[in-house]
Chains A and B, each alone.
Chain A
Amino acid sequence: MKFNRRNFLKIGAAAGAALAATGKPVSAMELSPGGKSVNKQGVERKKVPYTCMTCNIEDGGIAYVENDRIVKLEGNPKHPGNRGRLCAKGNAGLLHVYDPERVLYPLKRVGKRGEGKWKRISWEEGLNEVAGKIRAHLKSGKPRKEIAFKWGRNRTHGFIDRWMNALGSPTTMNHTSVCESSKKMGMQPTWGPDIETPDFANTKYIINFGSNILEAAYFHNPYAQRIMDGVAGNKAKMVTFDVRLSNTAAKSDEWHPVFPGTDGVVALAMANVIMSEGLYDAQFINDWVNVSADELKAHLAQYTPEMAENYSGVKAEDIVRIAREFATAKPATTYTYRGPCKHLYGSYNERSAMLLPIITGNIERKGGYCLPRGMGWNGVSPSPEHPHEHSKLHQPDNYPLAGHHVSHHIAFQLLKGEEKVAIWMDYYDNPAYTFPSSHVWEKVYQDEKIIPYFVTFSPIISETSQYADIILPDVSYLERNDPENMPSDLLPWISLRQPVIKPLGESMEFRETIRQLALKIDPDGSLNIKKYFDYGSSENYMKMHFDGVAGLKELGGYEWLKKNGVYPDYGDLSPADYKYYKGGKAVEPEYGLHMKEDANGKVTVGGKKRAGFGTPSGKIEVKTDFYGKAGFNPMPVFKAHPWHWSGGKKILKYGQMVLTTFKWNVHTQARTANVKLLTEIVHKNPAWINSKTAAKLGIKDNDLVRITSGVGHMVTRANVTESIHPDVVAVSTACGHTAGGRFAQAMNNAKADAWARDDDPDLKNIWWNDKGVHPNAIIPVCTDPIGGSQGWFDAVVTVEKAKSGDKYGDVVASVEKAVAFYEETLTYNVAGKNHKKMHPELANAPQAEPVKVVSRGDYREFDPVQLA
């Protein structure tokens, strides 16, 4: 083209005429009334409290804001969970807000699904389109359950249920089965709540089964502080059982590398030692456990330390020693996370680990294993009823105890046509990256026959949202409202997540988007939807939650919470001991909640009725009818994985190992990948292989290796190390992204052809070319038939030196093979052919009653009683 002044003037003249003719304002900006001259100097810096949500710990923060721009995030010292400290992810949180790869406008797909072609549309157009589709479906008389909603992280506390219940669809799908659902389903029938709050700060002994609590598990930021208080301040001993020398294991007094999935048998053997040597707390068992000490002794006798050594590799003498130490340390606590529970029969493992604090009477004691404390808020009225229709996507057949559902089966169920979907909504979710056999999800999302219409509320274009038909972009966690509560400390709290700035660009808070959709779907209220969304604004909705909370109300309710972020105010945090002080006295938690007098209590101890535990008997139910009636062993037992063991013998062949994954302290599964400060710290994930194993296989450090599962293979590099069990290969999550942004994909300037932008000065600082390799596609589905969890740490793989033609980063996975694993895992459910084979001890037990599957809403509503 020719560019010269003559052209400029000609085109400029024509442009003037064109702009005038098209009605574009020739007078560009408006002159403010009076031609106001403003000179802002010395900008005010505001402090706005919020609740972090980079991960799910829900710590309290303070945002420092200038000119509606966040300049710094800090921990909120008034928050009893994190006591003024944020982790690295929390500190880097503002980069989520200002990421130029964030979606700031509604986008509509143009071209094929996943092709990456979008056009910007107005909110009006976007909302009309989605509302129109939903309204048409509702009016069509087709089953309402064809309207589906899948979430990955839901901190709305019931809002998604409100939405789906109002639409009359039971097809709400969560993510908990890829998280710790079998831990929850081990705990809930045993003592009521689905989680524990160990009093690490005051303990003398910690047994940690399979949690990397200093880095990544629930509630790592608060608990890392308390563990350090306990270990450094209280001289507590910490013993970690983990397949990998995590940073937690490394900071423990002892690390015992266990064979995957055998923590449970180690715990059972320890319990056996404690019972048989008379080291148990007879009084506690007598008062509070629903089986007697003798019954326990008889049951546990089968789990000898030698048997546990055979499976776990932990020496019998160590098992005996640690059992004795634990039982006599007083107070002592255990802690578990995904290590024991993310296996076939992981729920049994969790129940086995729980035995240790129970039989030693360390429950609800200072320094012991305590019930979670919580505080609530008011519900928002009116509230729609849960629909009566049943969706197998919400709750599949033959998983009667999987109260937190079996979300990782959904893609397979859809492929098999178990349920039909008309409209699919996706929120804070990325199964095409985070789920096992993630390629199957990709296939499902691509198929317009399976998912005819796909709406996402995602603020990023991820491995999943790239397949959406329309994006109605949500805000970041620093621009939204939620009520919050987590048992991250023994001092209970509620907190507020509030927008610390206005939503950026045209992004809209999900709660507001749904409100507007609802009002468009049902403008006159005739569909009975409008009334549930007539609350005005998200802020009003929060007001309804908080204004009536006793205690808070007197202080000023929601307005007080907006200023302070967290309730109650426990006083001033002392930098000397990190305790709260009020009137010169340290604020101490309350212990012995089960012992509180309660006229309605089911258990009488010391002649008085006590509050007890949230079980049918009010006692700790080491023997649980919930399991028994559903066809499982009512006692804590160990089941060796048939992929790993046969007749007590390990059956791994030459080159075979168990693949495990793990998380880093600077990353969540997927959402932090484009946060440059974090990705600079961790961006690649070589496979950890034990040095002796590697030597046998001729693999050297940094060699290219091929890891092959029954689903497919991946090619990565070897990290040859002493820090891993010899039968295990470990590959971290959070790396190997194929979407999500430049930092997520290590797109530096050297790759300018593929990614021409060079705007961010930090792109020059991408000194790495390696973005890692994501293992999830090759991980087969393997489901705990009790709690419904994915057995993330069960896959048997062959590790070998890379073959000719293999390239770093190759991931090849077969949908057919993944489906075959799904079919296999169904054979372990209560109706499957392997169920009885795995439970020979129940051959003479009464036939399990047919279990009624109850369609439930939010997982918090889970009440095992419904299953009775």
Chain B
Amino acid sequence: MTESPAQPQDAIKNLYLFFAQLFLKEVDAPLLERIRSGELRAPLEEAGMDLKFLEGDAQAALDGLAVEYSALFVQPGSFPPFQSVAQGGRYLTPDADQVELFYQKYGFEYRKEYPKLFPDHLGLELWFIASLIEAEQKAKAANRTQDEGVYAAARAEFLKKHVAAWAPKYFETAARMTKHPFYLPMIEFAAAFIDSEIERANV
């Protein structure tokens, strides 16, 4: 998968990172401010999202988001966003090893930031793709054409082997589980983005 020079790879990378953040943890105060009054508000509203409910007391808004985050992704009865769970119904199936092997094969390590998280968390998988884009960008900037190709191919392969294998269906189910004014559109948005990425990569 190679971006044409005209395509703003940074924006794609950042979108992967943005979703990685949203799935990895609860919205925190700085991110809330960027969403409700910072640079994210206008494009999100332009896309059709109603963010008025986030106005008012910040702590109340953060608590409301945290409760829904837990209900969707954390507590018993939620749908924890792990490839193993989505495909095998339990934590840490061999899929998780395959994902970690993939990370390691390209020299990436996530445990410094999330030492206790299983490798096949949706957020980590998206984060990894963002990392591959960045590595590809760096290789390109340094004229390491061969490396650039390796990272681009890795991205396509990871998208196909892992993300495409479970994330679209996961989003579908997760969207059925919530009516929350922030998480429902975000899940739908992530689903549309990942679908477009899969389509674009033709995997």
Closest Cβ of chain A to B70, distance in Å, is: 5
Q: CA of A755 to CA of B177 in the docked complex: distance in angstroms?
A: 8
Q: CA of A35 to CA of B147 in the docked complex: distance in angstroms?
A: 12
Residue B14 at the A interface, CB < 8 A?
Answer: yes
A residues 94-118 touching B (CB-CB < 8 Å): 95, 97-105, 107, 110-111, 116-118
Closest Cβ of chain B to A127, distance in Å, is: 16
* Central interface residue in A12, A28, A117, A758, by most chain B CB within 10 Å: A28
Residues of A within 8 A of B130 (CB): 28
Contact with A along B57-68 (1 / 0, CB 8 A): 000000100110
Contact with A along B75-97 (1 / 0, CB 8 A): 11101101001111111111011
Q: Does B47 contact A31, Cβ atoms closer than 8 Å?
A: no
A residues 1-38 touching B (CB-CB < 8 Å): 1-3, 5, 7-19, 21-32, 34-38
Closest Cβ of chain A to B23, distance in Å, is: 13
Q: CA of A12 to CA of B17 in the docked complex: distance in angstroms?
A: 9
Residue B118 at the A interface, CB < 8 A?
Answer: yes
Asked, given contacts A10-B46, A31-B135, A460-B76, whether A16 binds B105 with beta carbons under 8 Å apart, the answer is no
Residues of B within 8 A of A67 (CB): 97
Q: Does A759 contact B176, Cβ atoms closer than 8 Å?
A: no
Q: CA of A39 to CA of B100 in the docked complex: distance in angstroms?
A: 10
Residue B193 at the A interface, CB < 8 A?
Answer: yes
Closest Cβ of chain A to B159, distance in Å, is: 15
Closest Cβ of chain A to B182, distance in Å, is: 12
Residues of A within 8 A of B79 (CB): 756-757, 759
Q: Does A98 contact B177, Cβ atoms closer than 8 Å?
A: no
Residue A741 at the B interface, CB < 8 A?
Answer: yes
Residue B164 at the A interface, CB < 8 A?
Answer: no
Q: CA of A26 to CA of B117 in the docked complex: distance in angstroms?
A: 19
Q: Does A119 contact B39, Cβ atoms closer than 8 Å?
A: no
Q: Does B46 contact A119, Cβ atoms closer than 8 Å?
A: no
Q: Which of B10, B124, B173, B192 contacts A12 (CB 8 A)?
A: B10
Closest Cβ of chain A to B36, distance in Å, is: 11
Q: Does A11 contact B8, Cβ atoms closer than 8 Å?
A: no
Residues of B within 8 A of A10 (CB): 11, 43, 46-47
Q: Does B10 contact A16, Cβ atoms closer than 8 Å?
A: yes
Q: Does A120 contact B69, Cβ atoms closer than 8 Å?
A: yes
Residues of A within 8 A of B196 (CB): 3, 5, 8
Residues of B within 8 A of A36 (CB): 104, 107
Q: CA of A19 to CA of B105 in the docked complex: distance in angstroms?
A: 27
Q: CA of A95 to CA of B74 in the docked complex: distance in angstroms?
A: 18
Residue B158 at the A interface, CB < 8 A?
Answer: no
Residue A506 at the B interface, CB < 8 A?
Answer: yes
Residues of A within 8 A of B128 (CB): 28-29
Residues of A within 8 A of B75 (CB): 103, 107, 118, 120, 461
Q: Does A37 contact B105, Cβ atoms closer than 8 Å?
A: yes
Residues of B within 8 A of A11 (CB): 15, 18, 40, 43-44, 47, 189
Residue A329 at the B interface, CB < 8 A?
Answer: no
Contact with B along A440-482 (1 / 0, CB 8 A): 0000000000000000000011000000000000000000000
Residue B12 at the A interface, CB < 8 A?
Answer: yes
Residue A803 at the B interface, CB < 8 A?
Answer: no
Residue B52 at the A interface, CB < 8 A?
Answer: no
Q: CA of A37 to CA of B43 in the docked complex: distance in angstroms?
A: 39
B residues 85-140 touching A (CB-CB < 8 Å): 85-94, 96-97, 101, 103-110, 112-113, 116-118, 124, 127-128, 130-131, 134-135
Count of B interface residues, CB-CB < 8 Å: 84
Q: Which of A35, A461, A760 contacts B107 (CB 8 A)?
A: A35
Closest Cβ of chain B to A607, distance in Å, is: 66
Residue A762 at the B interface, CB < 8 A?
Answer: yes
Q: Does A120 contact B70, Cβ atoms closer than 8 Å?
A: yes
Residue B21 at the A interface, CB < 8 A?
Answer: yes
Q: Does A757 contact B20, Cβ atoms closer than 8 Å?
A: no
Q: Which of B11, B20, B38, B118 contacts A28 (CB 8 A)?
A: B20
Closest Cβ of chain B to A5, distance in Å, is: 7
* Central interface residue in A15, A18, A40, A118, by most chain B CB within 10 Å: A15
A residues 652-697 touching B (CB-CB < 8 Å): none
Q: Does B134 contact A28, Cβ atoms closer than 8 Å?
A: yes
Q: Which of A24, A69, A97 contacts B21 (CB 8 A)?
A: A24
Residue B198 at the A interface, CB < 8 A?
Answer: no
Q: Does A39 contact B39, Cβ atoms closer than 8 Å?
A: no
Asked, given contacts A15-B17, A37-B105, whether A9 binds B8 with beta carbons under 8 Å apart, the answer is yes
Closest Cβ of chain A to B77, distance in Å, is: 7
Chain A residue with Cβ nearest B82: A100
Closest Cβ of chain A to B179, distance in Å, is: 11
Q: Does A21 contact B46, Cβ atoms closer than 8 Å?
A: no
Q: Does B76 contact A101, Cβ atoms closer than 8 Å?
A: yes
Residue B157 at the A interface, CB < 8 A?
Answer: no
Residue B5 at the A interface, CB < 8 A?
Answer: no
Q: Does B188 contact A752, Cβ atoms closer than 8 Å?
A: no
Chain B residue with Cβ nearest A117: B67
Q: Does B90 contact A506, Cβ atoms closer than 8 Å?
A: no
Q: Does B173 contact A29, Cβ atoms closer than 8 Å?
A: no
Q: Does B90 contact A23, Cβ atoms closer than 8 Å?
A: no
Q: Does B43 contact A19, Cβ atoms closer than 8 Å?
A: no
Residues of B within 8 A of A758 (CB): 173
Residue B180 at the A interface, CB < 8 A?
Answer: no
Residues of B within 8 A of A18 (CB): 18, 31, 34-35, 38-40
Residue A583 at the B interface, CB < 8 A?
Answer: no
Q: Does B80 contact A100, Cβ atoms closer than 8 Å?
A: yes
Q: CA of A36 to CA of B108 in the docked complex: distance in angstroms?
A: 8
Chain A residue with Cβ nearest B50: A1
Residue A505 at the B interface, CB < 8 A?
Answer: yes
Residue A504 at the B interface, CB < 8 A?
Answer: yes
Q: Does B43 contact A14, Cβ atoms closer than 8 Å?
A: yes
Residue A587 at the B interface, CB < 8 A?
Answer: no
Q: CA of A483 to CA of B67 in the docked complex: distance in angstroms?
A: 39
Q: CA of A30 to CA of B97 in the docked complex: distance in angstroms?
A: 18
Q: Does B66 contact A757, Cβ atoms closer than 8 Å?
A: no
Asked, given contacts A11-B43, A759-B79, whether A98 binds B109 with beta carbons under 8 Å apart, the answer is no
Closest Cβ of chain A to B40, distance in Å, is: 5
Residue A141 at the B interface, CB < 8 A?
Answer: no
Q: CA of A40 to CA of B97 in the docked complex: distance in angstroms?
A: 10
Q: CA of A18 to CA of B21 in the docked complex: distance in angstroms?
A: 12
Q: Does A756 contact B14, Cβ atoms closer than 8 Å?
A: no
* Central interface residue in B66, B67, B75, B177, by most chain A CB within 10 Å: B75
Chain B residue with Cβ nearest A459: B76
Residues of A within 8 A of B110 (CB): 28-30
A residues 727-754 touching B (CB-CB < 8 Å): 741, 752
Q: Does A119 contact B10, Cβ atoms closer than 8 Å?
A: no
Asked, given contacts A10-B43, A39-B105, A103-B75, whether A3 binds B91 with beta carbons under 8 Å apart, the answer is no
Q: Does B101 contact A40, Cβ atoms closer than 8 Å?
A: yes
Closest Cβ of chain A to B87, distance in Å, is: 7
Q: Which of B18, B46, B109, B177 contacts A29 (CB 8 A)?
A: B109
Q: Which of A2, A28, A760 contacts B88 (CB 8 A)?
A: A760
Asked, given contacts A38-B101, A38-B104, A103-B76, whether A28 binds B17 with beta carbons under 8 Å apart, the answer is yes
Chain A residue with Cβ nearest B115: A506
Asked, given contacts A18-B31, A762-B89, whether A8 binds B193 with beta carbons under 8 Å apart, the answer is yes
Q: Does A100 contact B90, Cβ atoms closer than 8 Å?
A: yes
Q: Does A32 contact B105, Cβ atoms closer than 8 Å?
A: no
Asked, given contacts A756-B79, A760-B88, whether A1 binds B21 with beta carbons under 8 Å apart, the answer is no
5 additional A-B pairs beyond A18-B39, A29-B103, beta carbons within 8 Å, are A19-B17, A69-B97, A120-B74, A758-B173, A761-B88
A/B interface sample: 17 pairs, CB < 8 A: A1-B189, A3-B196, A13-B11, A14-B40, A15-B15, A24-B31, A31-B135, A38-B104, A69-B97, A100-B85, A100-B89, A110-B63, A117-B70, A120-B70, A757-B173, A759-B85, A760-B90
A: which residues have CB within 8 A of B?
Answer: 1-3, 5, 7-19, 21-32, 34-40, 43, 67, 69, 95, 97-105, 107, 110-111, 116-120, 460-461, 504-506, 741, 752, 755-763
